[in-house]
Amino acid sequence: MKQILYILLVFVLFSCREEVNIELDNSSPNIVFEGLITDTPGPYVIKISETNSYYETNSPNGIGGLLVTVSVSDGVIDTLQEMETGHYQTTKLHGETGKTYTLQTSHKGEKYEASGTLQAPPIFDSLTYQYNEKKVFREE
């Protein structure tokens, strides 16, 4: 057993490492929408930002000054208020299961739209677990 540990120690201490630098092209930034509407009371926040280059160390830039709306399948339309740059908050929505919510905005001449239906949570009839002890080294 001690021989195996010594061999592993030798491999760890004397293994080779080669640094590989990959040149990545700078692509144009994409818009990222982050948000969540649930069946719990709002307000709900939608974050809108632009992606950065892979090597960029700053956090993504929020996009401010947009007109952002969320419409509901029952006809309600909520114009979101900008709380801080890139953070938009609902004013009158309350999520309800079975309804479809559609977010709309435009930025630099491009229109963006996303929609989804709020599904009912699953009903659990049971929940079980099993613990299996796993041995790292084989005992001899």
pLDDT tens digits, one per residue of 90-122? 998 888 999 999 999 999 899 999 999 999 888
Q: Residue 77: what pLDDT? A: 92
To the question of pTM greater than 0.85 for the whole model, the response is no
User: Is pLDDT of 131 > 80?
Assistant: yes
- 138 pLDDT exceeds 70? no
What average pLDDT does this structure show over 121-125? 88
Question: What's residue 85's pLDDT?
Answer: 93
- Residue 7 has what pLDDT? 76
Domain ranges of the chain: 31-117
pLDDT band at 139 (very low <50, low <70, confident <90, very high): low
**The domain defined by 31-117 carries CATH number 2.60.40:** yes
Q: For 21-60, how does the pLDDT look when each residue is reduced to its tens digit (9 = 90+)?
A: 777 777 788 899 999 999 898 899 999 999 887 777 777 7
- Nearest CA among 82, 41, 32 for reference residue 60: 32
Q: Residue 19: count other Cβ atoms within 10 Å of its Cβ.
A: 4
Measure Cα distances from 135 to 6, 40, 140 in Å. Answer: 20, 44, 12
Please report the sign of the dihedral spanned by the C-alpha atoms of residue 99, residue 104, residue 43, residue 31: positive
Mean pLDDT in residue range 126-131: 90
* C-beta neighbour count of 31 within 10 angstroms: 15
